[in-house]
Structure formats: structure tokens, C-alpha cells
Structure 1
Amino acid sequence: MGAVYAALLAMAPLASGTAAWWVVGMGALVVAAVLIGTMRRRTDVLIEQLYDAARTDPLTGLLNRRGFRELLDLELERARRGEGCAAVLIGDIDHFKEVNDRGGHHVGDAALQRTARILDEDKRQLDVVARVGGEEFTMILPDTDAPGALAIAERLRCLFQREFAADTVPLTICFGVAAYPADAETVGALLRAGDAALYGAKAGGRNRSVVHSSELHEMVARDGAGIDLEGERYVAVVRDLAEALDLRFSGSARHSETVGRYAEMMAEELRLPEERVARIRLAGILEARILAVADAYEAMTSDRSYRSSIGHEAACAELQRFAGSQVLGRESERAGTLALRPGALVAEHARTPVAS
């Protein structure tokens, strides 16, 4: 527009006096306005690019922590207004440091890019993927409850494992699952719930997906109270707990939680140390009577310094003979069949509903 106006000025006869200065001044203003508009548009583009850069992870092209939090705020607000649900997955690559140590950081960067590709290509169209730091990735799953989110996490975990199976360091990944509003009603609380579930997956042996529960949250809270999470026995209990939590939606979760609470109450009544009380509750959640049967079978079929194994058949006979006693608990009286094979312990129960 400024160029056209300048051409018209050149073709027109030169005016004199005040009118000439007015025409020149207006032309200059038009040219300046055009230049300012162009610069403003370029500035807006730069600001938008800077905003995107501030929300994007440069290595993978995914959202970073800031972008993830912004979208999670929006998604929870949308779910809250519509009385809907949403879930988050918090994933962390297992033993990733070994990749950097053995192959160098360029190999580690390539592994992170492959991870981003797996998560981004295999997500649903409405899902959001982000890399929030190091080897940690997160996902927002709109309109998804905990069982649905667990199914998605397991599918992605299996894809990840297959992708890296032939690598020098065959990587695996853990996922913590938390859902709104079942597990938390704010962004901060939801992320803490997801972190607790991820913690359970790591403690449970890695390469697994775990759904948040109150037991996991208490376990994480008690970590700072002196529980030795590196202790071999405690880690074994937590591993079994994580496996059990994967099945919490099968209908037995309330029963297991009730058993755990009763076990904790009895341990506190006996004035046992806090660390031992915590372990007893975790073991109770996994149903102590089953662990007792397994422990008894292992003891009878293992060679000791003071006696030899009594053998598989004799151990089966002993377990059946003491079913319902104080050794194995009265719950054994309701057992339908007890099938023991070398190397495996299978107890089939006629499940009875537990009064809530």
C-alpha cells in the first residue's frame, strides 16, 4: 500500500506550500504504519514460537513439564464441569542409566526418542504425551477411568518391551496409574498418586504397571519414617503387593484391604514396632492364610540342616490334614480343592463375599 501511494505521489504534480508538506507527511505515516504492522506480525510469530519452545521438549518434540501441567489443569477442569473422569500415566524407563554408561549419551538420547515415538504413535487421538524430565514420560487420558488406563499402560509397556528386546541393554518401563476423581481431585494430588503408583511398580520388580491405592500411598508416606525399603524381606512383600494391586478391580480389593486393616490393628495392639506393623499390614493385604500355606509347603519340601525334605506327596497330605487348624487358619475349611504339583502351589477357593 505504501509503494502504491508513493507512485501516485510521483505521478501527481508537485503541490506548493503547506499542502505539499501535508501530502509528504501523510505518505510517511502510511509507510511507517505498514512497517509497524509487518514488524508486529513478525513479533507475534516470534512470541508464539518462544511460547511453544517453552512448552516443548527439544529432544523428543513432546510437551515438557510446563506444557503438560497446563493441559492437565484444563483437562481436570473440563472433567470437573462435565462430572466426567480422566487419568494420568507416569512412566519411567527402568535402569536407563546403564544405557548412558555403556553406550554413551547419544545412545541414551536415541532411546528417549524411540520411547517418545512409541508413546506418541500408539496413543489415542485425544491422549496427550509429555516428557517431563530425564527418562520420565507422562500421559493425560481424557474420559478414562483407572481400569481403562491400566489397560492402556499395559499395552504400551508390552510395545516398549518388544521395541528394545534386541538391544544391547534391553530396556523396560514402569507405569504408575492414577485417576480423577477416584484417586484425587486436584492436579497436585493426582500427580502424587501417580508417583506413588510408579513407586510401587519400581519396588515391585520393575517392568510393570500399577494402579494407585491407599496402601501404596501409605507405604510411600512411611518410607520417610524409617522403613528399610532396601531390606530383602520388605521388597519381597512390596513386590507381591504390587502384583495384587493390579487385580484390585477383580472384586477382591475391598476384602484384601479389610484383612490388611485387621492385621495392622492386631499388630498395634501387641505394641510391635512401627516398621513391623507396616509390614504386617502389607502381608495381610495379600491374605496371610495363602502365604502361610505356601510357607508351610516350602518348609516341608526343603532340606534343612536338622532334617531332610519329606517330599511332595507327604507335604500335600500334611497340608490337607491340618486344613482348618490354627496352623493354616480356619479359612482353609472353606477351600474347595488344594492341588499341589512340584514347583507350583495352586489353591482353588470357593470365594465367599465379605461383608462390608
Structure 2
Amino acid sequence: MMYEYWLAAIPKLSDKKKMLLRKKIGTGKDIFYIEETKLMTHEFLNRDDVNTIMQAQKSRNLEEDFQELRRKNIRFLPHFSEEFPKKLLEIPSPPYALYVKGNLPPEDRKAIAIVGARKCTPYGEKYALEYGEKLAQCGISIISGLARGIDGIGQRGALMGKGKTFSVLGCGVDICYPKENRGLYADILEQGGGVLSEFLPGTPPVPQNFPRRNRIISGLSDVVLVMEAREKSGSLITADMALEQGKDIYALPGPVNSSLSQGCNQLIRQGAGILITPEILLEELGICGFPDTVKIDKNKKVLETTENMVYSRLDLYPRNVSSLIEETALSANEVVEVLVSLELKGYVREVSKNYYIKLK
């Protein structure tokens, strides 16, 4: 497998040409020891390709580099490996190999991607968390990109639902990007999920890597959910790739005057499914047997009377304290005390000075 890793790691040689090399010549070891004159006989290789391969044959640290993967608990899975995801072999441009920490999504379970804006609104955040949690509770694998905003929130929801989630990175699997998601990265692995990438360990998260990463997110998924997206965004690239791969797309509708809902509303206009509730989505996908724990409405948990009075008047859009005082006929002190109590319990959030939204 060391020589297969060597072939996968050759820079400036496309995955397609690497696959052709194995088909025409043989194993990675055969290619490592092949002579230049024999390489030149293959028409799909140009002069630069041959020079690249000959230069790679001079590698002196091959064994050491391969052992470093093991020290970092990184698995190397070439496309012909039995463990390589079968779904990825069916997409138009499958990766030559994957690098994996933890586990891969089980082949016998449905997988759903949750993607969306990095700078999401409380509205998008709420539903990414809710869908991630409730779908995971039904045994569905949640696929995403560990990014800020919707991606990471959807994956956090999956962990809250005691399920498994899998991150596809636009960098090496030994690099957590963004850094603020280090806790999420660790929790995903601890809870039996996985982190994977087609990029060599140590590869930095450069912009051109992310569109390539997106085709793997959609490729591993049976369905793609777009929670919030601008008119031109990486999430829509993922949706386009999913359509090309024959996957179903669902989008979260949003206000027509919100730039973060323009991409989703446009997807719906073009025929994407509409996200209304996780229960309805599961019905449409033919997944029954919703666990009893999922059916509990968290908004109906027992609250004090005054808390219910304030909580029931909040929504996903910010409400001012003064309007809550007017509607509840409570004193200013009582309303503020109730809001503080609700915030500590995780029911509400102050999104700007004296403006609150409902979280559950």
C-alpha cells in the first residue's frame, strides 16, 4: 500500500491519469519502478507528466511519510480499496484516494448533507440544528463540511441527536479548518463519526480546494438540504453537483427580501423540494418509525407562567423588550428577569441590545 500512497501523492498529475496508469501498467509498485522509455509509450501522458513521475520516483522519504499516516491515525483508502465508498465511484470525477480519520458513513444507511451559508441568520441556525438533530435520531448519517455557520451547526445538531456525522474537508484531515470548530472536530470523532478528504495530510485550506470538496459531500449523500444560501454561493455549487449526480435537493424557504434566502428560493423555483418540517421530509423519503423522543415538542416543556407569557410572544425574528412589556402587561424588571432565565435555559438569545429571538 506504500507505493499506492506514493502514486496518489504525486503532485500535478490528475486523478484520471493516475487511474489510467494503474489500468495500463499495474500496481503503484510497478509504476514506481517503470523506466522512462516505457512511460513515453503511453499517449495519455505528455512530457511534463513523464517528468513529474520520474521526479517522484526519486522520493527518499516514502516509507517515513507513509508511516507518518499511521502515527496520526489516518487511513489511506485508494479508489480500488474495498472500504472506499461505493457512492463515490458513481460520481463523474471520483477522487483517486481518500484520507480518513475515524469512520466512513455506513453504506447501509441513508446519508443526508446539510449545507448553507457561513454567515447564517438565527433562522437558518435554528433549522440547521433541528434538522441535524432529528434526522440523526432516525439513524441517518449527516454529511457536511465542518465550515462556519450552517455546516457546523447541522453537524452539531447531529451530535445532539446522538447520531453520527461526517466532515469532508477542503484541506488535509490533520488540519481543523476553521480553528474555532476544533471542539466539533473532536466530538465528531469521539461519537463514532469521521473526517475525510481527498487532499494529502498537511494540505492547507486554499480556496480552489472547496469546489472539489463539495462534489464529495454531495457524492456521499442521498439527499442534499440547503438551509440558507446567497444567489451565488458554495452551497449552490454543491446543489448543482448533486443534481449532476442524480441526487434529490431540498431547500429551506425564506423571506424574499433576505439575501441569504435568495439561493434557496431560487432552488425551490427551479423544482427543489421545500423543507417544512423534519417529519414531513422523513415521510417524503419513506423513512418511518420516528422515535418517540423525536416527537416531543421541546417548546412545550414546563415553564413558569410568566416565562410562558414572554416566551410565547417571541419568534425567529428579533422582538424588542419594550414591545414584550406592552404585550404581557408585566413590569420592565419582570420581563428582563424572565428573559435572563429563558436565555440561561437555552430557550432565547439576545441578538442585539434589548432584542431577543426564540431558539426552540
TM (norm. structure 2) is: 0.26
* The structure with more helix, counted as a fraction of residues: 1
Higher relative contact order (Cα pairs below 8 Å, separated by 6+ residues):
2
Rg (Cα) greater in structure: 1
TM (norm. structure 1) is: 0.26
